[in-house]
Amino acid sequence: MEKARKQLEAERGAITVRTIVDAWIKEYRPHWSAGHAWQCQQSLQDHAYPHIGDKQPDTVEPAHILDLIGTLLAEGKVETARRVRQRLDAAFEHGCLRYGFRSNPVALSKRELAKRFKVAQAANPEEHFPCVSREQIPQLLRAMRAYVGSPTTAGLLWFVCLTGCRTGEARFATWNEFDLDKGEWKVPAARMKARRPHIVYLAPAVVELLRGLQYYSRGGDYLFPHPTQIAKPASENALLFVLAAIGFKEKHSGHGFRRMFSTLLKQRLRTRSEIPHALPTTTRSTRRNAGASRIGTRTSLHASRSEKRRRLLEFDE
């Protein structure tokens, strides 16, 4: 018993915050989408490791957490601070359970952090993703056509615009999910917000776009690889950089294309209830509100809606 205790203490002495974060992510990765796992790793690498990454967990005090999160709040990054706090809390809790550390400094900071978040949210009220008005859409499309940057980044911009998908789903899309001959994109459940597989019917313009992009993917898995690291997807800020370059900074966003897509569909539909089925991605709530049936039931209705989605998505730019 004494030998085991000393061995555990020796192991704990070699453990850092990076160690428990890696162990936490490894434990839960099978239950997460690839995008979520990457975001957890990246956010802590960017915002937590520079402050406490090399510290032993037992030496991390609540004051360290308050300083770390406080820096993000002072910069107006309220949502980033919230996610970093949640992820650090989960990682430290995992460290306590797995390695026997005695306290979770994030949990001990909870009351004070709640006060600071309240102040920061009042100073930086949440804003919706910007989206151009219907009258500004032609101007946006002209600016997009005039963009002369990276073909991969331009392709990502047009892909999100023409499919109305979420930017994360586009960035992490791989070639093996696509059947260009059939004009279909089969998004696996692991990368869907609703955790269900989904088929996106591609308009001819999208198929043509993707065929042209195959050369630029350089034989990698991702449709839109990182410009210098082919094994990684394009940066989550890639679309924002392009929109800023074409003069639409703070006027439009990656998610704004989804809103724009919905606006255009409303012009083609008699009822708004069909919009969730026409959009490339849906959540449980939108399917429920629209009266959608479960997969594998009411087959004829599902087939009818699939055909409607094909026709709706085959529009000219």
Res 205: pLDDT: 92
Boundary-marking domain end, from 64, 91, 123: 123
Predicted model pTM: 0.54
Angle CA 249–255–258, to nearest 5: 125
Which pLDDT belongs to residue 4?
57
- Domain containing 147 equals 134-313
174 and 66, same domain (yes or no): no
Whether 156 and 90 map to the same domain: the answer is no
- Whether residues 109 and 200 fall in one domain: no
The pLDDT score that the predictor gives to residue 306 is 55
Instruction: Give tens-digit pLDDT for 155-214.
Output: 999 999 988 888 888 999 999 999 999 999 998 877 776 667 888 889 899 999 999 998
Q: Two tokens at 103?
A: 């306290």
Same domain for 154 and 254, yes or no, is: yes
The last residue of one of the domains, among 58, 88, 123, is 123
Domain shared by 154 and 285, yes or no: yes
Q: Is residue 110 part of a domain?
A: yes
What's the order of all strands across the beta sheet hosting 184-187? 178-179, 184-187, 198-201
DSSP single-letter state for residue 3: H
Indicate if 76 and 109 belong to the same structural domain: yes
CATH number of the domain bearing residue 236: 1.10.443.10
Each residue of 223-233: pLDDT tens digit?
A: 999 988 888 99
pLDDT of residue 8: 55
| Domain's final residue, options 61, 96, 123 | 123
User: Where do the H-state alpha helices sit in the chain?
Assistant: 2-13, 17-28, 34-47, 49-52, 62-74, 78-99, 105-108, 110-123, 137-146, 151-163, 167-171, 204-213, 238-245, 256-268, 275-278, 284-289, 299-313
Same structural domain for residues 111 and 184?
A: no
The verdict on residue 2 lying in a domain is no
Residues 165 and 200: beta-carbon distance below 8 Å? yes
Which residues of the chain fall short of a pLDDT of 50?
271-278, 282-304, 315-317
| Phi, psi for residue 199 in degrees, rounded to 5 | -105, 125
Q: Judge if 166 and 141 occupy the same domain.
A: yes
